[in-house]
């Protein structure tokens, strides 16, 4: 069966404030979960910090994959992006959910993308892309129209 793919020519916008808030929401969810996890099942160290070892040490990685990469692959956006009204799509404009590889690449270097480097790239690249978007060949578009 031939499936008609919807490809749209899209003009991107920096949306730095919205993108920052969306990322902040996502990482509040991830880090909030981690704090609760470490306090509830972690062992307190002599300096007052908490640590997790053994198989439970994989829980934070699995949670990150589910909440960040998994959401983009299954729902089409992370929780933060859904709330703010943003959606990552392939750079060719095809309106589809990202693949696992695209989403993983987008978020693998999030720590750099939340630094001034990410800001400078979004402001100075033709399609307003950060490091992860450049590597994954993705762009971020608005999903809701303002003022309508």
Query: How would you classify residue 145: left for phi > 0, otherwise alpha for psi between -120 and 50, otherwise beta?
Result: beta
At 8-35, the pLDDT tens digits run 456 677 788 898 999 999 999 999 999 9
Q: How much is the pLDDT for 17?
A: 86
Decide if 26 is inside a domain.
yes
Question: What's the mean pLDDT in 118-147?
Answer: 85
Structure tokens at 93: 């404009």
What residue spans of the chain are helical by DSSP H? 16-41, 59-64, 71-74, 79-84, 100-108, 110-113, 116-124, 131-136
- Of the candidates 16, 125, 127, 143, the residue with the CA atom closest to the CA atom of residue 77: 143
Decide if 6 is inside a domain.
no
Decide if 8 is inside a domain.
no
Percent of the chain past pLDDT 70, that is, above it, reads: 88
Mean pLDDT of the chain: 87
Decide if 5 is inside a domain.
no
At 56-97, the pLDDT tens digits run 999 999 999 999 999 999 999 999 999 999 999 999 888 889
Decide if 97 is inside a domain.
yes
**Overall number of domains in the chain:** 1
Decide if 148 is inside a domain.
no
Range of the domain at 66: 16-142
């Amino acid at each position: 069966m031939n499936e008609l793919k919807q490809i749209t020519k899209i003009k991107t916008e920096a949306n730095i404030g919205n993108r920052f808030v969306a990322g902040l929401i996502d990482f509040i969810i991830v880090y909030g979960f981690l704090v609760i996890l470490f306090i509830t099942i972690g062992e307190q160290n002599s300096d007052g910090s908490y640590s997790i070892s053994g198989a439970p040490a994989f829980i934070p990685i699995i949670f990150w994959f589910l909440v960040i990469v998994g959401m983009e692959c299954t729902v089409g956006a992370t929780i933060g992006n859904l709330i703010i009204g943003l959606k990552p799509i392939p750079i060719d404009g095809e309106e589809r959910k990202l693949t696992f590889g695209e989403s993983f690449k987008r978020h693998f270097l999030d720590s750099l993308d939340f630094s001034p480097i990410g800001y400078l790239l979004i402001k100075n690249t033709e399609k307003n892309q950060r490091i992860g978007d450049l590597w994954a060949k993705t762009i971020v578009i608005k999903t809701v129209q303002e003022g309508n």
